[in-house]
Structure formats: structure tokens, C-alpha cells
Amino acid sequence: MEWRNDLQVRRRMITKIARIIKSCKTEAATSEWMLKLPVIARRFEAQLAKRARSLEEYRDVNTLKRRLRDVSVVMCAEPAPRWYVPDLHFQTRADTKAEIKRYLETDGIDAAADVIEEMLAYRAATFAEYMDEATFAARLRDVISQHNSPPVVQA
């Protein structure tokens, strides 16, 4: 099995990332922020998995904080889509996650629906594009294939 599809390995990494992020936040850690911690940790983990060239590189705790800093710089540079309002679109996104799970089960793909849905949301230029059922399967396959492909290393 390809290591990026090993959910146990990835869940352990998400837990490590959540602990690191939590340790960096002290008085700013509101209850609302703590509710977002699992999603934030999954987003970071997805980026680390995407960028890692090997399981050893991915699991390396000696470089984990540096790699998280590198990912945070990139993630902060990516603004949320203009159409995206978290509270307003919460139910729609939950429904989309359920639809993603159905597609994944049908195709026999083992992946995290939350991370994939977030990638779909961030790549959609408009809410209409995000909701477009005619292109849903193609956009889903595109996100999954990009998520599982090795990173492009620039010289």
C-alpha cells in the first residue's frame, strides 16, 4: 500500500501536528479556536503528505516544526475564496463531505473527506462552481490525483 493511503500513519501525524499547534497557542486559544484545531491540523497534514517525497521524510519529527512553518507560509499566502463564508456554507459543505464519502466508497479510495472537501472549496472560484454537480466527479478526481501525486521540486 502507498503510504499516503495509510490512514493510521496520517492520523498519528494529525495528532502530532495538533499538539504542536496547541503548544504554540496559549492565551489566544479560545474555545472557538480549539474547535477549529482538528481541521487546521488536517490541512497542515495534507500539505505535509503532498510535499513529502518518502514516508521517512513525512515522519521525520526532527524537521516537523520547520516543515510546518514552511507550509504555514504557503497556506497564509492562499486567501480563502471570496464566496466562502464558513458559517453560511456550513451545511452545504457538510453535505458535500457526505457526497465525497459516497464517491470514495464507490471508487474504493481510502482518503479523508474533510481534507478533500476543503481542497475543493479552496479551488472553486465561485460558490456556483463549488456546487456544480455536472463537474463534481471530475473536480473530485482532480483534487485526489493532485493530493496523491509527488510534489514538484524546483531547482
Residues 105 and 63 occupy one common structural domain: no
> Does residue 72 sit in the same domain as residue 98?
no
Angular region, 108: left φ>0, alpha ψ -120 to 50, beta rest = left
Q: What's the confidence (pLDDT) of residue 152?
A: 41
Same domain, 85 and 71: no
Question: Does residue 48 carry a pLDDT above 60?
Answer: yes
Question: Alpha-carbon dihedral of residues 68, 71, 77, 80, nearest 10 degrees?
Answer: -90
Confidence (pLDDT) at 43: 86
6 lies in some domain: yes
Is residue 155 domain-resident?
Answer: no
Q: Are residues 3 and 69 in the same domain?
A: yes
Spell out the residues 6+ positions from residue 103 whose beta carbon is closer than 8 angstroms to its own. 109, 137, 140
CA distances from 21 to 8, 46, 49, 108, 149 (A): 20, 15, 17, 32, 26
Is residue 40's pLDDT more than 80? yes
Identify the residue with better confidence: 88 or 37: 37
Name the pLDDT band for 57 (thresholds 50, 70, 90): very high
Residue 12 has pLDDT above 60, yes or no: yes
Domain-ending residue, one of 26, 48, 78: 78
* Segment 26-38 mean pLDDT: 68
pLDDT at 136: 87
Same domain? 62 vs 135: no
- 0.85 exceeded by pTM: no
Q: Which domain holds residue 51?
A: 1-78
Q: Structural domain tally of the chain?
A: 2
Q: Cα(30)–Cα(27) distance, rounded to whole angstroms? A: 8
CA 48 to CA 64: how far, in whole Å?
Answer: 9
> What confidence category does residue 113 fall into, taking pLDDT thresholds of 50, 70 and 90?
low
